[in-house]
Structure 1
Amino acid sequence: MRRPLWFAFLLHRVSGLLLALFLPVHFWVLSLAVRDADALESFLSLTERPLVKLAEMGLVFLLAVHIFGGLRLMALELLGWSSGQKTAAAGAVALSLGAATLFLLRAI
C-alpha cells in the first residue's frame, strides 16, 4: 500500500462501485417525483439532517474522485508515463476533497 498510484487506482474503482450502488436509490427518489409528491416531500425533509448532509458530502467527494481519477487515466493513456503523476493523483484527491467540502459548507 506504499504506492500512491495503486491507491489512486483503488480509489477510482471503489468510488465507481459506490456511485453505481447509489444510482438505484437516486432513480427511486426521482420516481417519487413522478408518482407521489407527498412521499417525495417526506423523503426530502430528511435531507435537512446533519448526517444526510455529511453523506451528501461523501457522495460529492466520490463523484469528484471518480471524475479526476478518470481524467488521470485518460492522461496516462494519451500522454504516457511522467514523474509528476504521483503529484497529479494527490492533487486530484485534494481537489475532490475541496469540492466536497465546499458543497458541505454551502449546504449547512
Structure 2
Amino acid sequence: MRKKRDNISSFRRAQSARSKWATPQQGYRRRRFPRRYLRAICVVAIISMLGWKFYVSQWPAWTTVRHMAAAPNCDFARMVGLAPSNRGQPGYYPRHDRNQDGVACEPFVRRFNSQRWR
C-alpha cells in the first residue's frame, strides 16, 4: 500500500512540475479570436467606409468612384477623364496641383529649344 501511494504522489509532483513550466501551447489551449471573424469584420469596415464616402459625397456615385480612382496621380486622373480639374471639382487633389493655381493636372507642353540640341 505504501508503494502505491508513493507512485501516486510522485506522479502528481511530476504533473504539477510539468504544468508549471509548460509553454502556453503545451499547457493549455489559448482562446483566440477566430481569423474568419477578423476577416469578416475588416470587410464590413471597408464596405461601410466606402458607403459612408458615397453617402456624404456631393457628386453622383459614379463620379465619386472616378474621383477616388484619380487619387494616386495625374495619370490615373487622365485615365478616368477627370484631368485637368479645377479646385472644388471631382478629380482635384492639392498634391496634383504643383503651382498652387487651382488647376490640377494641367496639360504639360514641352518646349524644345532647337539651338540647345545642336
TM-score (norm 2): 0.26
Looking at CA atoms only, which structure, 1 or 2, has the larger radius of gyration? 2
Higher helix share: 1
Structure of higher RCO (CA pairs closer than 8 Å, 6+ residues apart): 1
